Amino acid sequence: MAGPTEAALAFVRHYAEVVHEHKSELTKLDSAIGDADHGENLDRGFQAALTQLPDDDAGADAVLKAVAMALVSKVGGAAGPLYGTAFLRASAALGEHEQLDGPAVLAALVAGEQGVIQRGKAEVGDKTILDAWRPGIEALEAALDEGASCPDALDRAAEAAEAGMADTIPLVARKGRASYLGERSAGHQDPGATSTALLFRALADTARA
């Protein structure tokens, strides 16, 4: 099994690839209820992150911190600062853990969510990133409590995040640009919840690999 730094690097490289592959889809979702840039924003940020990753003995926390810095400096709008804060908080949480096991990943995701909430002041049901993030965390915690292995628990988290993503379709947006549309934001899947569901799936895929 790879060490924590290699695992974190593998995750970031994989998620960057996934974002790149889903760039048009994310932007298309954002064109329905936003300003058609979510895919470009995240892709620009993660491509920049790839050029700034530390060496494979730097620590998993240093990997996530490098991603946070790239996102904050290269991505404007809502998602850059929100994901940037999430990666920064996740990095700090990982710094407290020796292993990159289930509890460490859960702690990182919980800290990341706290960052998103503090920065964006959204609640579950506001049609944002949190609508995939929260169910993902809840499923991960439940699976780990039941004794599931880390890859199995992350699979369940990814499924729950994907369900949360789909559940944003009927919601009326209460935060971000989509909220300017009021009731007209209903009937469309939230772009940020979609990129978050992809993130949980990328974690599960990396843990399985």
Contact residues: ligand ADP, CB under 6 A: 30, 34-35, 37-38, 41, 77-79, 82, 116, 120-122, 128-130, 175-177, 190-193
Only segment of 18-26, 46-54, 63-71, 77-85 that touches Mg ion (CB under 5 A)? 77-85
Q: Which residue has the tokens 């530390």?
A: 54
Structure tokens at 199: 């993130």
Residue 102 interacts, among Mg ion, ligand ADP, none and using kind-specific CB cut-offs from 5 to 8 Å, with: none
Listed in sequence order, the residues at least 6 apart from 31 whose beta carbon sits closer than 8 Å to its beta carbon are: none
Decide whether 2 or 124 has the Cβ nearer to ligand ADP. 124
Work out how close the CB of 110 gets to ligand ADP at its nearest, in angstroms, rounded to a whole number.
16
Rg, Å, the chain Cα set: 16
Nearest to 65 by CA among 5, 25, 120: 5
30 binds Mg ion (CB under 5 A): yes
43 binds Mg ion (CB under 5 A): no
Work out how close the CB of 17 gets to ligand ADP at its nearest, in angstroms, rounded to a whole number.
19
151 binds Mg ion (CB under 5 A): no
Residue 79 interacts, among ligand ADP, Mg ion, none and using kind-specific CB cut-offs from 5 to 8 Å, with: ligand ADP
Work out how close the CB of 34 gets to ligand ADP at its nearest, in angstroms, rounded to a whole number.
5
Work out how close the CB of 114 gets to ligand ADP at its nearest, in angstroms, rounded to a whole number.
12
Exposure of 15 in the CB half-sphere (CA atoms within 13 A): 30
The number of angstroms, rounded, from the C-alpha of 168 to the middle of its chain's C-alpha atoms is 16
Work out how close the CB of 157 gets to ligand ADP at its nearest, in angstroms, rounded to a whole number.
18
Q: What is the DSSP letter of 172?
A: P
**Phi, psi dihedral angles at 186 (to 5 degrees):** -70, 150
Q: What CA–CA distance (Å, rounded) separates 6 from 96?
A: 17
**Which residue's CB comes closest to ligand ADP?**
192
Structure tokens at 62: 């240093």
Compute the C-alpha angle 34/201/134, nearest 5°: 65
Say how many residues touch Mg ion, by CB under 5 A. 6
Binding residues for Mg ion, rule: CB under 5 A, are 30, 34-35, 37-38, 77
